Amino acid sequence: MKARNAIGLDSKKSKQLAEKLNDLLAHYSIFYQNTRGYHWNIKGEKFFELHLKFEELYNDLLLKIDEVAERILTLGYAPLHNYSEYKKASAIKESSQVSDGLKAVEDILNSFRVIIGLQRELLGLSAEAGDEGTNALMSDYIRAQEKLVWMYSAFLNK
């Protein structure tokens, strides 16, 4: 095995990053599908507000799924693409049909806690590997998601 990958990073560290990014990809994919379900099934007083917010969120998650998969490829590895693998790897579980907006927002906040934690782990790994590309991606995600956590928490009056 060569010592450096195509972008000049240590191959062993790149493999470790790609594995952790695949974990993140699994979590994002389950989170995405759950959010689609919240969008489709939401009912009640806050329908119009939450229906739009959930659509914004799942569109953003879809972009992140693609970016994470492309980062794995950039590191020289293959992104996982099977939901069976995602379900095994993800601490975020598939949700049942959720039509209650407050329950959906709680689930979203719990998913963000897991995702942000994984991204912080990736920050440490990418810093150790000198991987500025992954580092910048994770830093941008965390900053934006922390704001979303604040906003969804404010919605729940927490």
Give the domain CATH number at 142: 1.20.1260.10
31 in any annotated domain: yes
1 in any annotated domain: no
68 in any annotated domain: yes
- DSSP letters along the chain, please? --SB-TTS-BHHHHHHHHHHHHHHHHHHHHHHHHHHHHHHH-BSTTHHHHHHHHHHHHHHHHHHHHHHHHHHHHTT-PPP--HHHHHHH-SSPPP----BHHHHHHHHHHHHHHHHHHHHHHHHHHHHHT-HHHHHHHHHHHHHHHHHHHHHHHHTT-
CA dist 146 and 76 (Å) reads 30
Tell me which residue range forms the domain holding 57: 11-155
Task: Read off the pLDDT of residues 33-45 as tens digits, 9 standing for 90 and up.
Answer: 999 999 999 999 9
122 in any annotated domain: yes
6 in any annotated domain: no
pTM above 0.85, yes or no: yes
Task: Read off the pLDDT of residues 119-154 as tens digits, 9 standing for 90 and up.
Answer: 999 999 999 999 999 999 999 999 999 999 999 999
Domain count, the chain: 1
CA dist 30 and 83 (Å) reads 8
5 in any annotated domain: no
Query: Tokens 């928490």 label which residue?
Result: 153
